[in-house]
Amino acid sequence: MKKSDYSAGNIQVLDGLEAVRKRPAMYIGDVNLRGLHHLVYEVVDNAIDEALAGHCNDIQVSICEDGSIEVRDNGRGIPVGMHPEQQRPALEVVMTVLHAGGKFDDKTYKVSGGLHGVGLSCVNALSSRLHASVYRDGFLWEQEYQCGEPSYDMKKVRPLKKGEATGTTIRFWPDDSIFLECVYRYEIISKRLRELAYLNAKVRITLEDLRSDQQQRDEYYFEGGLSEFVEYLDESRTPIHDEVICFKDDEGTVEIAMRYNTGFSSNVLSFVNNIHTHEGGTHISGFRTALTRTLKSSAERNQLFKNFKGDLAGDDFREGLTAVLSVKVADPQFEGQTKTKLGNSEVMGQVQSIVGEKLGHWLEDHPKQLKLIVDKVVIAATARQAARQARALVQRKNAFASGGLPGKLADCASRKPEDCELYLVEGDSAGGSAKQARDRHFQAILPLRGKILNVEKARLDRVLQNEEIRNIITALGTGIATSEEDFDPDKLRYHKVLLMTDADVDGAHIRTLLLTFFYRHLCPLIENGRVFVALPPLYKAKQGKREQYCWSDEILQQTVKNMQDSSSGKVIIQRYKGLGEMNPRQLWDTTMDPETRQLKRVTIDDAVEADRIFSTLMGDQVEPRRRFIERNARYATLDI
Q: Which residues are catalytic?
A: 426, 502, 504, 506
- Measured distance CA(210)–CA(65) in Å, rounded: 5
3-state secondary structure 336-384: CCCCCCECCHHHHHHHHHHHHHHHHHHHHHCHHHHHHHHHHHHHHHHHH
Widest pairwise Cα distance in the chain? 86
- Measured distance CA(459)–CA(257) in Å, rounded: 24
Edge-first strand order for the sheet with 572-575 is 546-550, 539-543, 572-575
Rg, C-alpha atoms of the chain: 28
- Measured distance CA(85)–CA(88) in Å, rounded: 8
- Measured distance CA(255)–CA(351) in Å, rounded: 9
- Measured distance CA(205)–CA(47) in Å, rounded: 10
From residue 79, how far is each of 48, 102, 107, 118, 147 by CA, in Å? 17, 10, 15, 17, 22
First to last CA, the chain: 63
Residues 6+ away with beta carbon under 8 Å from 76: 50, 55, 56, 136, 166, 167
Q: Provide the strand spans (E) within 226-350.
A: 245-248, 254-260, 267-272, 275-276, 321-327
Q: Left if phi > 0, otherwise alpha if psi is -120 to 50, otherwise beta: which for 426?
A: beta
